[in-house]
Amino acid sequence: MEAKTHIALVSVPVYSHQRSILEFSKQLVHLHKGIHVTCINPTFSSPCCNTLALFHSLPPTIDYMFLPPINLEDLPHDTHPAVHVQFTISQSLPLIHDALKTLHSTSNLVAIISDGLITQVLPFGKELNVLSYTYFPSTAMLLSLCLYSSMLDKKISCEYKDLLDPIEIPGCIPIPGTDLPDPLHYDRSGEVYKQFLEANERFYLADGILVNTFYEMEANTIRALQQQEGRGIPSVFAIGPFVQKGSCTEGSTNEAEYLRWLDKQEQNSVLYVSFGSGGTIFQDQLNEIACGLELSGQKFLWVLRPPNKFGIIVDIGAETENPLKFLPNGFLHRTKGHGMVVPYWASQVQILGHGAIGGFLCHCGWNSTLEGVVHGIPLIAWPLFAEQKMNAVLLTNGLKVALRPKVNEKGIVEREEIAKVIKNLMVGEEGKGIRQGMENLKVAADNALKEDGSSTRTLTQLALKWTSLGVA
SS3 235: coil
Give the separation between CA 162 and CA 140, rounded to whole angstroms.
25
pLDDT tens across 108-165, in order? 999 999 999 999 999 999 999 999 999 999 999 999 999 999 999 999 999 999 999 9
Closest CA to 176 of 393, 446, 408, 415: 393
113 pairs with which residues across the strands? 9, 133
Task: Answer whether residue 319 shows pLDDT above 80.
Answer: no
- Assign 464 a pLDDT band (cuts: 50, 70, 90): very high
Q: Are the CB atoms for 44 and 73 separated by under 8 Å?
A: no
Please report the DSSP string for 211-233 in residue order.
Answer: ESS-TTTSHHHHHHHHHTBTTTB
pTM score, whole prediction: 0.95
For 66, residues 6+ apart whose C-beta sits below 8 A from its C-beta are 41, 43, 47
In terms of Cβ atoms closer than 10 Å to its own Cβ (0-12, 13-18, 19+), residue 267 is exposed
Task: Answer whether residue 469 shows pLDDT above 60.
Answer: yes
What's the gap between Cα 25 and its chain centre? 16
Q: Domains in the chain, please, with CATH?
A: 5-240+452-471 (3.40.50.2000), 255-445 (3.40.50.2000)
Give the separation between CA 382 and CA 278, rounded to whole angstroms.
14
Task: Answer whether residue 1 shows pLDDT above 70.
Answer: no
SS3 233: strand
Q: What is the mean pLDDT of residues 384-392?
A: 96
Q: Are the CB atoms for 203 and 134 separated by under 8 Å?
A: yes
Q: Which amino acid is at 387?
A: E
Closest CA to 50 of 333, 449, 345, 380: 345
Q: Are the CB atoms for 265 and 304 separated by under 8 Å?
A: no
CA-based max dimension of the chain: 69
Query: pLDDT higher for 407 or 73?
Result: 407
- Assign 46 a pLDDT band (cuts: 50, 70, 90): confident
Give the CB-side neighbour count of residue 440, counting CA atoms within 13 A. Answer: 11
Active-site positions? Answer: 17, 115
